[in-house]
Copies of this chain bind each other. A is one copy, B any other.
Amino acid sequence: MPPAGARKLAPEPSLRRLPVYLRLLTRLDAEGTRTVSCTAIGRELGLDFTQVRKDLSCTGIVGTPRVGYRVDELIAAIQRFLGWHRRTDALLVGAGNLGRALLAYEGFAQYALRIVAAFDIDPSLVGTEVAGRPVRHLDDLPDIAESSGALVGILTVPAGQAQSVTYTMVLSGIRAVWNFTGARLEVPRGVLVEDVDLGASLAVLTNRLEQASTC
């Protein structure tokens, strides 16, 4: 038996669904709904209700038979479990098109993610501001990483520079890399990498489209 209070290790697919629940719950909360059942959530989102229950149980939430879960408690439990109950500070490297779009994106607030500064090596970008955040030279990253205590690095550089920038980040105390470059990153044990690979996503779309049109 695991010790009392032991955190459950959530499967990645469950983790990825939690923000979907959170969005629905926030809407329900705004509409004044006080309690909700897995059945109702599943119906709304097109998911199996028993999968919803298993996903939610990861967060440690306890419900009431015949009633369901309190919406406010559920929101708090998911946010707590995802670490979205307190602010996460991030540094962004690569102030090109995608990097600037992420800097300007207001939606990160709902994930309690704050990009404190951006970095680049392009002289025409260094010294500018994007959405109120300074673009500094990459050489300043170690100092600002230390002074800000940021643990997350957002990587939006060209794929060819991804690995070398990752080394710089890790040496500066970054513990988790959110990788938008499509490159495979090597990191020391204990450092996390999460890939957002547009090519992988598009591959699913265009393959299925191809299959559909040639069958």
Number of A residues near B (Cβ < 8 Å) is 61
Interface status of A152 (Cβ within 8 A of chain B): yes
> Is A54 an interface residue, CB under 8 A from the partner?
no
Q: Which residues of B contact A16 (CB under 8 A)?
A: 197, 200-201, 203-204
Kindly state the separation between the CA atoms of A111 and B40 in the bound complex, as whole angstroms.
Answer: 40
List residues of chain B with CB within 8 A of the CB of A82. Answer: 203, 206-207, 210
Q: Name the CB-closest residue of B to A190.
A: B212
In the complex, A203→B208 CA distance in Å?
A: 27
Asked if B20 and A184 sit within 8 Å, CB to CB, the answer is: yes
User: Nearest Cβ in chain B — how far from A199, in angstroms?
Assistant: 4
Question: Which one of B100, B105, B206 contacts A111 once the chains associate, using CB atoms below 8 Å?
Answer: B206
Tell me the bound Cα distance from A105 to B82 in angstroms: 31
- Asked if A46 meets B184 with Cβ closer than 8 Å, knowing A88-B206, A176-B205, the reply is yes
Q: Is A67 positioned at the interface, with any CB of B under 8 Å from its CB?
A: no
Interface residues of A in 156-187 (CB under 8 A from B): 159, 175-176, 178, 182-184
Instruction: From B104, B184, B202, give the contact of A45 (CB < 8 A).
Output: B184
Q: Which residue from B23, B182, B215 sits with its C-beta under 8 Å from A19?
A: B182
- Indicate if the CB atoms of B209 and A175 lie closer than 8 Å: yes
Whose C-beta in chain B lies nearest to the C-beta of A200? B16
A121 within 8 Å of B by Cβ?
no
* Other A-B pairs beyond A15-B200, A15-B204, A82-B210, 6, CB < 8 Å: A17-B200, A19-B199, A22-B199, A100-B101, A110-B199, A192-B209
Sorted from nearest, which 5 A-B pairs have the closest CB atoms? A101-B101, A83-B210, A19-B199, A16-B200, A83-B206
